[in-house]
Structure 1
Amino acid sequence: MRSHSVCGVAAVLLGGLLTTGCGGTGDGNGDGSRTGGAGGSASGGHPVTVTDCDGAETTVSGVPDAIVTSNASGLELLLRLGVGDKVIGTGFPPGRGTLPAGLDGRARKVKVLSETVIPKEKLLGSGADLYVDAFGAVRSSGGGMGDVPSEEEFRAAGIAHVRLKSTACAATREEPVTDLSAVEADLTALGAVTGARARAQRLVAGMRQKVDAVREAVGEVPEAERPTYFFFDFDAGTGQPVAVCNRQVAHAVITLAGARNVFADCDADFRPVGWEDVIAKNPDWIQLGVRDRGSEEANDKAFDEARTWLETNPATRGLKAVRNGRFLRIGSERTTIAGVRNADTVRDIAAALYPGKVG
């Protein structure tokens, strides 16, 4: 794919859910999509139209040949869709060993265009015809994230710009996120754009099967009886804890697992809080949110360090969860980064909290 058309002046300002076709001229596909264009659909079901957080549209005319991703979250989704061979570069690359074994080797083959935000000139000159962007519009337009291309510059370079709704729209959500529908929408959209619809449908079905099983198992537990839960972001620093708030996908993961996020009243994605706030919440369970170190041995050491800190710090050792040893050793990435593994984390949290109900 080298060319793409745009529907609407504000297209792709915030990121992409799927419809197929442009201007509502096509036939329904039963998945919220439209196959459009006079004369029928192109190869792979194209043209494909994606929408941003406000519903503005952009149309991708053909299957992309060269894809660049902004960071590891978009890269992982594309690898899971089986189109990793089309990814020619990424920013914010995943650390070695941080992706599941089956994906890590393929991720290592992707050229790193930047360890952080890809510079504008490098991105526009990368040869990409699709850029998968996990960042929100505010962050992408400045905010310390570097100089990024405008939508006009993307169009001039022949690069379709698609943002991931599960991450890019967090700052603009008006309601708490309580399910994984945005992740499913991103998979569906990327599957349609890249010609991997069937793979996307299988991934979404697998996620729903795991989450539905947990819902069935714990659905009758009254809200007031569900255990309270604190995600301890150990790697964000221990001086001031960072709360997972209700606009972050981790809040949905915690909620779906049958727990109550102690910072569910925080209308943001993340927010610095004080230890006095955590003490006041006095959670029943604490997840040791450690970022993947690249090996099981290194991860175990980090989990041990996080637990020891909580058990020996005068401000936290009296917490109910600490006194009772109710810790979950589940990594940060699979909890706070929107993706297929969110469903696995729902199941793993629920299995710890409800051992008699969830296997």
Structure 2
Amino acid sequence: MRSRVWWPTTAVVLGLLAAGCGDGDGADEGAGSDKDAAGGAAVSATGGFPVSVTDCAGTRTTFAAAPKKIVTSNAAGLELMLRLGAGDKVAGTGFPPGKGTLPPELDARAQQVKVLGRTVIAKEKLLGSGADLYLDTFASMAGMGGGMGDAPTEAEFKAAGIRHVFLKSTACAADRKTPVTDLSAVEDDITSLGAVTGTSATAKELVAGMRKTVDAVRSAVGGAAPDARPTYFFFDYDAGTKQPVAVCNRQVAHAVITLAGARNVFADCDGDFKPVGWEDVIAKDPDWIQLGVRDRGSESANRAAFDEAQRWLHDNPATKGLKAVKEGHFVRIGSERTTIAGVSNADTVRDIAKILYPGKVG
């Protein structure tokens, strides 16, 4: 069963991150819930606290103050906390970043964060962590890391005093009604986390930086006619090679690919991810293939994983004849910064565009 997903509904200041640990039968009293007479959210007009959010069912939760002890589900969430300046509040993480895999200005601090799980954090360890906020990326990504079926229930989060917050741009992607072609949902996540953690000013700066990066790419390559843009396949090597998994048009990676001036070969697929056949990939015959491997824990291990994925495409009879494989048109950019919400999504747009349009993108 898919984990409960929380969506934002602020009326005054910002589009808030989905959050909460209510059990669906009312507001979460432990989180300081509140409603005005009309049933609306009690949101500070100054951008401070309290900050109110509701879930998909309309259950409202109010944050009376910033969390003091945060646990992140993976390196992407940890990176966001560090970029926002809330890294001193992070008490632990799952899927830790390998040394040197985050930007240098974040790496040293990231290595000091306690590792609660090399993959998914065990249920007992998470509930016993003493955290008052858990930043979760995996609500609709049960295939990532395995063991997601043993995740705490919302009632268990509540009993442990942990507010459960999701990156909605990633976790809720499958439920979008229309294709995603920009990073506005990611920007909303960052803005929302800034509000929840009391770092709104920094969040605003991060979003402005992302927009500047993407706008520069758009100016450089945006004039290319849609049918003249190179076709692009995100090869999720770690999802398995027997049956490839396509990035569909509701996933943030689709927006990244589109903004970079490429055409996702599975843009006609509604949803976030979808298993397809190699015959489908062969029929698309992409101009470029991104070797989407997940962080292996070190730069050398990541290089080895990219080599392995590329070698598999070269050696496999079904894929060795693809145009991208024959021409060596591979993009070596990891999965997380492409498919999970973060500031690095904008950097990935730029990095892909630099490869596809050499000389045009700085």
TM-score interval, normalised by the smaller of the two chains: 0.7 to 0.9
For residue 233 of structure 2, give the secondary structure of its aligned residue in structure 1: strand
What does 1:280-319 correspond to in 2, within 5 Å? 280-319=283-322
CA displacement at 1:56 relative to structure 2: 4.8
Amino acid aligned to 1:161: H
Stretch of structure 1 that moved more, 194-203 or 95-104: 95-104
- Structure 2 distance, partners of 1:296, 1:153, is 37
Q: Determine the structure 2 residue equivalent to 1:14.
A: 5
Amino acid aligned to 2:284: K
Q: Structure 1 residues 51 and 257 mapped into 2: Cα distance closer, same or farther (>3 Å)?
A: farther
Q: Structure 1 residues 151 and 327 mapped into 2: Cα distance closer, same or farther (>3 Å)?
A: closer
Identity %: 72
| Preserved contact between residue 74 and residue 94 of structure 2 (Cα < 8 Å) | yes
RMSD of Structure 2 on Structure 1 (CA): 3.0
Aligned counterpart in structure 1 of residue 209 of structure 2, from 206, 209, 223: 206
1:125 is the counterpart of 2:128: yes
For residue 330 of structure 1, give the secondary structure of its aligned residue in structure 2: coil
Aligned counterpart in structure 1 of residue 182 of structure 2, from 179, 184, 199: 179
Q: Determine the structure 1 residue equivalent to 2:31.
A: none
Q: Determine the structure 1 residue equivalent to 2:137.
A: 134
| Preserved contact between residue 15 and residue 133 of structure 1 (Cα < 8 Å) | no
What does 1:10-89 correspond to in 2, within 5 Å? 13-17=4-8, 19=10, 28-29=12-13, 31=14, 45-52=48-55, 56-89=59-92
Deviation by residue 1:282-307 (Cα, 9 ceiling, x = unmatched)? 01111122333444444334333333
Q: TM-score, normalised by structure 2?
A: 0.82
- Structure 1 distance, partners of 2:348, 2:199, is 25
1:322 is the counterpart of 2:325: yes
- Structure 2 distance, partners of 1:134, 1:150, is 15
Stretch of structure 1 that moved more, 90-99 or 224-233: 90-99
Q: Structure 1 residues 66 and 206 mapped into 2: Cα distance closer, same or farther (>3 Å)?
A: same
Q: Structure 1 residues 299 and 71 mapped into 2: Cα distance closer, same or farther (>3 Å)?
A: closer
Aligned counterpart in structure 2 of residue 232 of structure 1, from 223, 229, 235: 235
Q: TM-score, normalised by structure 1?
A: 0.82
- Structure 2 distance, partners of 1:346, 1:328, is 12
CA displacement at 1:37 relative to structure 2: 9.4
- Structure 2 distance, partners of 1:61, 1:42, is 14
Q: Structure 1 residues 107 and 251 mapped into 2: Cα distance closer, same or farther (>3 Å)?
A: same
Stretch of structure 1 that moved more, 152-161 or 327-336: 152-161
Q: Structure 1 residues 296 and 96 mapped into 2: Cα distance closer, same or farther (>3 Å)?
A: closer
- Structure 1 runs not aligned, ≥5 long: 1-11
CA displacement at 1:170 relative to structure 2: 1.7
